[in-house]
Structure 1
Amino acid sequence: MYDITIIGSGVSSIFLAYTLVQTNQKVLILEKGKSLEERTCGLDRGETCNCEVCGKFYGFAGLGKSEGKFNYSCDFGGELAQKVGKEKLIQLMDEVDELLCLFGADSLQKYSTVNEKLAKKAQDCNLQMLTTEVRHLGTQLSTEIFQRLYTILASKVDIRFEVDIQNLRKEMNTFTIHTNLGKFESKNVVFATGRSGTDWLKEQCTNLDVKQGKTRLDLGIRVEMKEQQLRSILEDTFETKLAFEYDDVISTTYCMNPKGRIVRKFQEGLVMPDGQNFKEKETRTTNLNFTLFTPNYFPSLKEANLYASKIIGNINNDSDRIVVQRLGDLLGGEPTTEVKMEENSIKPTLSADCGDLTKEVPLFYLTILQGFLNQLEEFIGETIDKDTLLYGIDGKFYSPIIETDLNFQTSLDGLFVIGDASGVTHSLSQAAASGIYLGEFLANKEQSELEVTK
């Protein structure tokens, strides 16, 4: 019998488990994917993905194995501050960073995007500058840190990989988990499956009569422009996150990569343009890329996924097709041709089909992008180069918001859900913070129960 079983071994799970090793509770982690050193995918080598369970998304450390960018902010990355309070979230994120540094993150300096002068200028241009402190680990260092954490956890808690959970039930005060590796019993269960485990989580919530709420979906155009055009606002902050309001909808820049490149992202059975920081490659480019994401909310996960599949799936056309268009051509109402692209001063870092985004993407997203770029021109004090490239279309997916109390406990006593699986956090830092928060609660709960039995 385990005291706590954590399903999933992503960032929220790791920080929860590490907090719990300070107690006397018996902890089990069940993971669908593989250990860190075994997490490989053909996509990492420029090949096709033939994974039965893709190592890019599943396995120990989850998406923390990717760029390892920890944004310590209450302004974006989730709504955890609304649940635990802003002051508490700041404290939790300090604890997240301290733990990362304990395992090697202090070899990279944390930087801040705070710049009061720029923030005031952005406001004057009808833009809002969202600020944060950042510990950007990069894939290699992130992998090393989480491997060190694994070594510690493996000596303190039971961790099982390549687990297929076939059935999960609660009878009396005990959860019974039937898997391909046998049966496990636990007093408490924590769902920490991240965004990648959404379909599985939906099925479990239905079976256990746990209510799921609305689902958020962000879509937006990925922009690739001359890095020097934004250098004036990036010199002191490295990454500037800007928000733009149009028709009561707030769109936000995401994953800004100075001197980086654009790569294909495979998610939810769809292919999208994604940014890769220059730190992930030996050579830098003269370009900069980011996505302007616009949020939309749907009554259910199914409706959100159908909407995304209709738009992105039509672009993909049963392949890995992505469409790119010059800004000048979009403004001029003309398609981009291969001849125009060959003469373009900004060379695309992603091989994509030249075309006309007005025939591929809902006008709503293009209208917002043009409005944002107009304000960005005012902000930087120069015209955005018409050779700027626009890629359609990027997507950021979220889990449905699951109804929980202040301690992440669902309506089923003893069942908790944390991290991005909860629909409350949308970032590595807030997911990790939710793990520490629940760990502290469960540790205090155990202490209280021990005192009662004495």
Structure 2
Amino acid sequence: MSPTYDVAIIGAGTAGIYAGYELIRRNPGIKVVILEKGSDIYHRSCPIVTGQVKECIQCKVCATMSGFGGAGAFSDGKYNFTTEFGGWLTDFMPQDRVMDLIYYVDSVNMRFGATDQVYSTETPEARALEKRALENDLHLLQAKVKHLGTEKNLMILKNLYEDIKDKMEFRFQTPVEEIRKTGEGYDLALENGKTVSCRYLIAAPGRSGAEWFAGRCEALGLDLINNQVDIGVRVELPAKIFEHITDVVYESKLIYRTKQYGDLVRTFCMNPYGHVVTENVDGINTVNGHSYSDAALRSENTNFALLVSNRFTKPFDQPYRYGKHIASLSNMLGGGVLVQRFGDLLKGVRTNEHRLSKSFTRPTLNATPGDLSLALPKRHLDNIVEMIYALDKIAPGTANYDTLLYGAEVKFYSSRLELTEELETRLPNMFAIGDGAGITRGLAQAGASGVHVARIISGRLERDA
């Protein structure tokens, strides 16, 4: 019996969406199904965001992390035009091809409402920032970036969903349990007891499905390469401290090598006038940040992550579990995310409600005041403190007593499969894309990976027609 679908896509995050979009654009009438454990874009609702509860209640499926648009749906929508960060697609194809794909995805975004405003790194002001950073042993990664904004990011996704929802089949709230290789393709065993058969399979599980996908790959006999895990804190301070930087490049990605340990620390996901938020990763509360393009929705603060990269050598091979364990310690201590004033951390005292109430920096997240030194390893905290003092040289005020540190922030880099240049696994016609496959880290390259695989499959369909 022939497979029911020409192509099945696991996951409706950025990678899966753009794979589906490109497939139906190039192959009208093709039978495509997207299987997603979360809800559609209209029914993704976090009880914290809607004001029903103040703390995470451990929903079975986290609406912030899963559903149409994936973890990126409620991000602040930074779209970076670069191969220097945001993924590793250049491991599989030339840089110019990756950039062509990134610009193509941007053109699709613009069709559905994305801004045409770009923050350039080629201006004299941006070059002056780079020079000042270098003078203080900080390295500013240069890239053009668009800030879509959390609310406009959702608008783009809604417009995209309306355009494609009747051209392919979506099955929401439909987790996949197992992947089985068959003679003509693949069978996907669903949690509801049903089975979906397909000729081509695209796995785009996203960050929330990374651990699940690793288990399915092991069951299929596919080798995995462990990627790094980044652990740190989210910094929140008055927006004025970084205005001279964010007004020029919007997001400054700064890297510093600590003198004490020689470890790399970097800023990540900078949100001018933004809000600190929580994320649920497999039942563990971690911290993140958002920023709106609408001035009426902005705060008076800027937030960004400070992350320490960790790569482990044998025999240890579980960086994902290590990161979850660190985050779970802060959850154990505070029932969720912890927050501590920088000055309290230096003095070795716990931030409590009284001390926090005296802070000149008002928190945008209702986190538990506590002591990060009880949750994060000493080496990580030493690195973070040294980085804060380095940043203080180019953004005076970063090391203020009332700068707020939220923890833990953990960026999981999914185990990567051994893939071909086509992003195909060792099993024929099974592809892996996006953040959950460990090859991208952000909206731009995730979307690019989906378009790339869709074009590969389209070529094979045309060849076999």
Aligned partner of 1:103 in structure 2 is 112
Contact 1:335 1:355 in 2 (8 A): yes
Corresponding residue to 2:20 among 11, 17, 20:
17
Aligned partner of 1:36 in structure 2 is 41
The alpha-carbon deviation at position 102 of structure 1 amounts to 0.9
Q: Match of 1:36, SS?
A: coil
The alpha-carbon deviation at position 188 of structure 1 amounts to 1.3
**Unaligned 5+ residue runs, structure 1?**
none
1-structure distance, mates of 2:45, 2:390: 42
Aligned partner of 1:75 in structure 2 is 84
1-structure distance, mates of 2:398, 2:19: 48
The alpha-carbon deviation at position 264 of structure 1 amounts to 2.7
Residues 314 and 239 from structure 1, CA distance in 2 versus in 1: closer, same or farther, beyond 3 angstroms?
A: same
Contact 2:263 2:383 in 1 (8 A): no
Give deviations 1:114-168, integer Å, cap 9, x for gaps. Answer: 5112112211211111122223223332222222222332332222222243443
What number of residue pairs does the alignment pair up? 449
2-structure distance, mates of 1:99, 1:301: 42
Corresponding residue to 1:202 among 202, 214, 218:
214
* Most deviating of 148-157 and 210-219: 148-157
**Structure 2 residue 338 is matched with structure 1 residue 323:** yes
Corresponding residue to 1:58 among 50, 61, 66:
66
Q: Match of 1:376, SS?
A: helix
**Structure 2 residue 153 is matched with structure 1 residue 138:** no
Contact 2:334 2:370 in 1 (8 A): no
Contact 2:237 2:398 in 1 (8 A): no
Residues 358 and 188 from structure 1, CA distance in 2 versus in 1: closer, same or farther, beyond 3 angstroms?
A: same
2-structure distance, mates of 1:212, 1:139: 33
Contact 2:210 2:437 in 1 (8 A): no
Aligned partner of 2:405 in structure 1 is 390
2-structure distance, mates of 1:337, 1:141: 36
Aligned partner of 1:245 in structure 2 is 257
Aligned partner of 2:318 in structure 1 is 303
2-structure distance, mates of 1:154, 1:278: 27
Corresponding residue to 2:170 among 159, 164, 181:
159
After TM superposition, what 4+ stretches of structure 1 lie above 6 angstroms from structure 2?
Answer: 299-302
2:147 maps to a residue whose letter is H
1-structure distance, mates of 2:32, 2:297: 44
Question: 1:164-243 to 2 correspondence within 5 Å?
Answer: 164-179=175-190, 180=192, 182-243=194-255
Residues 371 and 449 from structure 1, CA distance in 2 versus in 1: closer, same or farther, beyond 3 angstroms?
A: same
1:294 maps to a residue whose letter is V
CA RMSD of aligned residues (A): 2.5
2:423 maps to a residue whose letter is F
1:79 maps to a residue whose letter is W
Residues 49 and 351 from structure 1, CA distance in 2 versus in 1: closer, same or farther, beyond 3 angstroms?
A: closer
Q: Match of 1:45, SS?
A: coil
2-structure distance, mates of 1:77, 1:53: 26
**Unaligned 5+ residue runs, structure 2?**
none
Residues 123 and 320 from structure 1, CA distance in 2 versus in 1: closer, same or farther, beyond 3 angstroms?
A: same
Give deviations 1:386-422, integer Å, cap 9, x for gaps. Answer: 2222223211122111111111111111111111121
* Most deviating of 312-321 and 35-44: 312-321
**Structure 2 residue 283 is matched with structure 1 residue 269:** yes
2-structure distance, mates of 1:300, 1:105: 46
2-structure distance, mates of 1:438, 1:430: 12
Aligned partner of 2:129 in structure 1 is 118
What TM-score, normalized to structure 2? 0.89
Residues 256 and 4 from structure 1, CA distance in 2 versus in 1: closer, same or farther, beyond 3 angstroms?
A: same
Residues 41 and 85 from structure 1, CA distance in 2 versus in 1: closer, same or farther, beyond 3 angstroms?
A: same
Give deviations 1:316-372, integer Å, cap 9, x for gaps. Answer: 217534333322333344444544333332223333444433333211112112221
The alpha-carbon deviation at position 209 of structure 1 amounts to 1.2
2-structure distance, mates of 1:411, 1:77: 25
Contact 1:113 1:238 in 2 (8 A): no
**Structure 2 residue 374 is matched with structure 1 residue 363:** no
The alpha-carbon deviation at position 301 of structure 1 amounts to 10
1:89 maps to a residue whose letter is V
Contact 1:41 1:49 in 2 (8 A): no
